[in-house]
Amino acid sequence: MTDQPTYDAQQIQVLEGLEGVRKRPGMYVGSTGSRGLHHLVFEVVDNSVDEALAGFAKKIDVMLHTDGSVTVRDDGRGIPVDTVAKVGKPGVEVVMTMLHAGGKFGGGGYKISGGLHGVGVSVVNALSEWLEVEVRRDGKRFEQRFERGKRVSALRVAGKSDRSGTTVRFLPDRDIFVETVFDAKILAERLDELAYLNAGLVLTLADERSGESWEFKHSGGIAELVKTHNKNKQPIGDAITIRRVRDGIEIEAAVQYNAGFLEHVFTYVNTINTIEGGTHLVGFRSALTRSINDYGRRQGLLKDIALAGEDVREGLTAVISLKLPDPQFEGQTKTKLGNPEVKGLVESVVGEGLAEFLETHPGDARKIVAKATQAARAREAARQARDLVRRKNALDVSTLPGKLADCAEKDPTKCEIFVVEGESAGGSAKTGRDRHFQAILPIQGKILNVEKARVDKMLGHEEIRALITALGTGIDKDFDFDKRRYDRVILMADADVDGAHIRTLLLTFLYRYMPVLIERGKVFIAQPPLYLVKAGKKAHYAYTDLERDEVTADLSKQNVAFEIQRYKGLAEMNPEQLWETTMNPQTRTLLQVELNPNGANGHGDVDLLFRTLMGDEVEPRRQFIQKYAKEVRNLDI
């Protein structure tokens, strides 16, 4: 028996001050990558926003410096500099060096706040190589410096000041963060969002590295935000705005419908984006469903139809913003609100506001009810289509599509499926594949653009039904990741314009109805070669124009004659070539499809891209093409 390591009281570590933050930074800022890096700035900005929420700050400036540091400055009251009796240190030092210290607990300093329960700025300090704070208040300017969370200089009076506010400048610790370069776009998205959520507040961003600067101010608040989201979606009527204070909680909502089929609801608590929703979202949805049903029945518009929640949310864009004294968030990252009393308050306030709008805007009200009624009929048609698929699956001997060439392996984690453009290329892929773990599903022609179609029409499309059945996960609310039949979904299309279009249509379907596959990194794009360069009996495959030129230049030096074949389609390769270049795990190249995790609204950037490129509106697509035309590198004409 080997010696066991000793485990006694000497092995118990006590981490003092902010050491625990440096030991486990991911617990406090989410990651040591780009997400955590930018979270540092958001924490400092949130503290300044709290001053705005309290009615003191009017302007917040963020500056990105060439040395990698960042400055956040506000014109609020300034962090207190007098001594905290309990610890014998100035207030600013306590806030910067002690977890769970701040003015947000007793209710005296702030009635409402979005800061990280008093954890925020001290965590930023702990994870910075250095942090300098300047406080302007009481006619004086105070300064103090910290390094890796520890005080290196005492708070000192550096001069006089006729203004008030706080300035924090810090350099993220390169020993902790694997990503240390700030992305101005990520910061701009959040500052813009904060400007919508705090009508009248001015936020600026200056990037010394590029010389660019931006100013964000939205006097229209969240109603303006809803209109911005609906700008290219054929809005139905004007935005419905609701704002009331009930039991000390400020409840604000903006609602507007559009001609599309998707629901976009964004919820905030004290300016924090609660991306997982919570009790405020539950209350809002209940009020919406009840109000529209009540109005429709009173006006005789529904007859025997009862609108479900999903019916009244089709084509809905809404923002719910709450400001409350004691938010109870689930988890450190504050993505879900848990206050039980909030549900009833939001339901009551939103219900009153919606009822008032519907009664006073009968034209818009009838359009909203008509749209929800159409959604209900489509939902019933989709249910019948699903039932038909299930009944067929139960009766058929084989539940899988006839065109699918399945693999022998039964463990999904060891299997992959190639979704191949065209029957001919599918035939080559079936012959050239490794039948043990590779399945092939040929797709004939361009599939339905699901961005422009309701679910009932989508389920009636033969190629999409074959894909749904083959993957086995189900779609949308019925999606079950654990029921997947393959661990990798590989899209394989021709290297031309039609192939790119088919690949985009497939990605649109996967993003809209099976997004978890993309989120978990299970969707890939095959990379077939563009060229075959033959020199005698030798064959060289080139995957880019540059690679082709390098091969031909090398052969020219050797004074070897060659010929170049441009592959326009997968079917031009025989099964052996397709296996060798595109399907063999030992030699192939795959591109993994990923989502941008840093958008202000989660999937916001990706969602906008699909709506712009695949939606009904022509104008935003034209503007997109004009904006990015100069960046095109590979144009197949």
Residue 603, domain member (yes or no): yes
* Mean pLDDT comparison of 313-327, 588-602, 623-637, highest-scoring range: 313-327
445, 425 contact by CB (below 8 A):
no
* Cβ neighbours of residue 285 closer than 8 Å, sequence gap 6 or more: 309, 313
Residue 540, domain member (yes or no): no
pLDDT digits (tens, 9 = 90+) for 49-72: 989 988 899 999 999 999 999 999
CA distance linking residue 253 with residue 37, whole number of Å: 31
Report the number of distinct structural domains present in the chain.
4
pLDDT digits (tens, 9 = 90+) for 577-594: 999 999 999 999 999 998
Residues 605 and 466 grouped into a single domain: no
CA distance linking residue 121 with residue 127, whole number of Å: 10
52, 198 contact by CB (below 8 A):
yes
Residue 394: its pLDDT value, please?
44
Residues 143 and 230 grouped into a single domain: no
Residues 322 and 193 grouped into a single domain: no
Residues 618 and 522 grouped into a single domain: no
Residue 558, domain member (yes or no): no
pLDDT digits (tens, 9 = 90+) for 162-216: 999 999 999 999 999 999 999 999 999 999 999 999 999 999 999 999 999 999 9
Query: Which is more confident, 68 or 399?
Result: 68
Residue 131, domain member (yes or no): yes
Query: Which is more confident, 102 or 232?
Result: 232
Ranges 211-215, 230-234, 301-305, 602-606: which has the least confidence? 602-606
CA distance linking residue 621 with residue 452, whole number of Å: 14
Query: Which is more confident, 390 or 611?
Result: 611
List the CATH number of the domain containing 512: 3.40.50.670
Residues 276 and 317 grouped into a single domain: yes
Query: Which is more confident, 559 or 289?
Result: 289
Q: How confident is the model at residue 637 (pLDDT cuts 50, 70, 90)?
A: very low
Residue 620 pLDDT more than 60?
A: yes
Residue 390, domain member (yes or no): no
CA distance linking residue 13 with residue 16, whole number of Å: 9
Residue 167: its pLDDT value, please?
97
Residue 116: its pLDDT value, please?
42
Query: Could you list the residue range(s) of the whole structural domain that residue 37 is in?
Result: 19-216
Give the Å distances, CA to CA, from 485 to 340, 396, 405: 40, 19, 13
Residues 33 and 170 grouped into a single domain: yes
Ranges 10-14, 164-168, 561-565, 607-611: which has the least confidence? 10-14
Enumerate the H helices of 77-212 as residue ranges: 91-97, 120-126, 184-197
Residue 332: its pLDDT value, please?
56
Residue type, 252: E
pLDDT (mean) for 310-334: 86
Residue 584, domain member (yes or no): yes
Torsion of CA 574, 576, 578, 580, to 10 degrees: -150
Question: Catalytic residues, which ones?
Answer: 421, 494, 496, 498
Residues 77 and 37 grouped into a single domain: yes
Is 479 exposed, middle or buried (CB count within 10 Å of its CB: 0-12, 13-18, 19+)?
Answer: middle
Residues 149 and 170 grouped into a single domain: yes
List the CATH number of the domain containing 167: 3.30.565.10
Residue 455: its pLDDT value, please?
80
Give the Å distances, CA to CA, from 588 to 416, 526, 527, 585: 14, 8, 7, 6
Tell me which residue of 415, 416, 424, 471 sits closest to 443, measured CA to CA.
424
Residue 479 pLDDT more than 90?
A: no
Tell me which residue of 317, 49, 70 sits closest to 200, measured CA to CA.
49
Residues 51 and 117 grouped into a single domain: yes
Query: pTM above 0.85?
Result: no
List the CATH number of the domain containing 327: 3.30.230.10
Residues 492 and 347 grouped into a single domain: no
Residue 240: its pLDDT value, please?
95
pLDDT digits (tens, 9 = 90+) for 255-300: 999 988 889 999 999 888 898 899 999 999 999 999 999 999 999 9
Residue 372, domain member (yes or no): yes
Residue 102, domain member (yes or no): yes
Residues 358 and 321 grouped into a single domain: yes
Q: Chain-centre distance of CA 315, in angstroms?
A: 19
Last residue of a domain, one of 186, 216, 246: 216
Last residue of a domain, one of 195, 216, 237: 216
Residues 252 and 126 grouped into a single domain: no
CA torsion sign for 457, 460, 461, 465 is positive
412, 391 contact by CB (below 8 A):
no
Residue 632: its pLDDT value, please?
62
DSSP result, 378-391: HHHHHHHHHHHHHH
218, 199 contact by CB (below 8 A):
yes
